Amino acid sequence: MTVEQVKALVRNVPDFPIKGIQFKDITTILDDPEGLKWLRDEIVNHYKGLGITKIAGIESRGFIVAPSVAIELGIGFVPIRKKNKLPAETVSVTYQKEYGEDTIQMHKDALNVNDVVLIHDDILATGGSMEAAIELVKKLGVKKVYVNCAIELIGLEGRERLQGKAEEIYCLMGMEVDE
Ligand code: AMP
């Protein structure tokens, strides 16, 4: 499959979850066997050989493809979850959202100083959630952090916001907000 073919599978839903937001629905990639496989393979091919030791997915759409990438790379998967979901001792980061604030957490023993971590989410928009996830992972003293999203929304300056905070920011598809 080509990038253009996969981009064509993304469903644009206007005014969801609120008026004025064009929602990029990836479920229409996931329910296509070729599209789903393409997502996994593109990530695996890009990161194999980089010495990644763990892939951390951001709740909840970062949980969908990441575990299959982890299996292919022969590494473990770590969930980054919303507040009060994880049962053991956690580290937290609270960050500002458009309306109010949010807290994300991960288990304290999920990563250590020897880890090279790939953080994955479905969409990079303003970069606020990814910035918080990077901060969270770094709290555990890891060696290196890489960032991956399936879709990068162009014009929202997510990439600019993350500049210098990760080894590399790699998104599979760049899309205009109203594309
Ligand atoms: P941000 O923190 O602004 O980069 O937003 C990223 C998070 O919000 C990701 O977890 C996305 O799943 C979700 N998100 C933001 N904008 C959109 C959009 N237009 N369509 C679908 N999901 C979005």
Tens digit of each residue's pLDDT (9 = 90 or more) over 65-122: 999 999 999 999 999 999 999 999 999 999 999 889 999 999 999 999 999 999 999 9
Any ligand 1 atom below 6 A from CB of 24: yes
pLDDT of residue 46: 98
The 10 Å Cβ neighbour count of residue 108 is: 14
Q: What is the DSSP string of 32-71?
A: SHHHHHHHHHHHHHHHTTTT--EEEEETTGGGSSHHHHHH
Q: Under 8 Å CB-to-CB from 5, ≥6 apart: which residues?
A: none
CB 142 within 8 A of CB 112: yes
Ligand 1 centre from 109 Cα, in Å? 28
Query: Burial letters for 54-77: b for 16+ Cβ neighbours within 10 Å, e otherwise?
Result: bbbbbbebbbbbbbbbbeebebeb
Residue nearest to atom 11 of ligand 1 (CA): 123
Any idea which residues carry the catalytic annotation? 61, 98
Which of 91, 39, 33 has the alpha carbon at shortest distance from 66?
Answer: 39
In this structure, what are the phi and psi dihedrals at residue 20, rounded to the nearest 5 degrees? 95, -15
Residue 179 has pLDDT above 90, yes or no: no
pLDDT of residue 48: 98
Q: Ligand 1, residues 123, 131, 165: which to mutate, most atoms within 8 A of Cβ?
A: 123
Mean pLDDT for 156-177 is 97
CB 130 within 8 A of CB 122: no
Mean pLDDT for 17-43 is 97
pLDDT-derived band of residue 178, with 50, 70 and 90 as boundaries? confident
The 10 Å Cβ neighbour count of residue 156 is: 16
Ligand 1 centre from 135 Cα, in Å? 18
Q: Under 8 Å CB-to-CB from 74, ≥6 apart: which residues?
A: none
Residues in the chain: 179
Strand partners, 171: 149
Ligand 1 centre from 7 Cα, in Å? 16
Which of 131, 148, 124 has the alpha carbon at shortest distance from 69?
Answer: 148
Mean pLDDT for all residues in the chain? 97
Any ligand 1 atom below 6 A from CB of 92: no
Any ligand 1 atom below 6 A from CB of 28: no
> Tokens 């992972």 appear where?
137
DSSP letter at 126? Answer: S
Any ligand 1 atom below 6 A from CB of 115: no
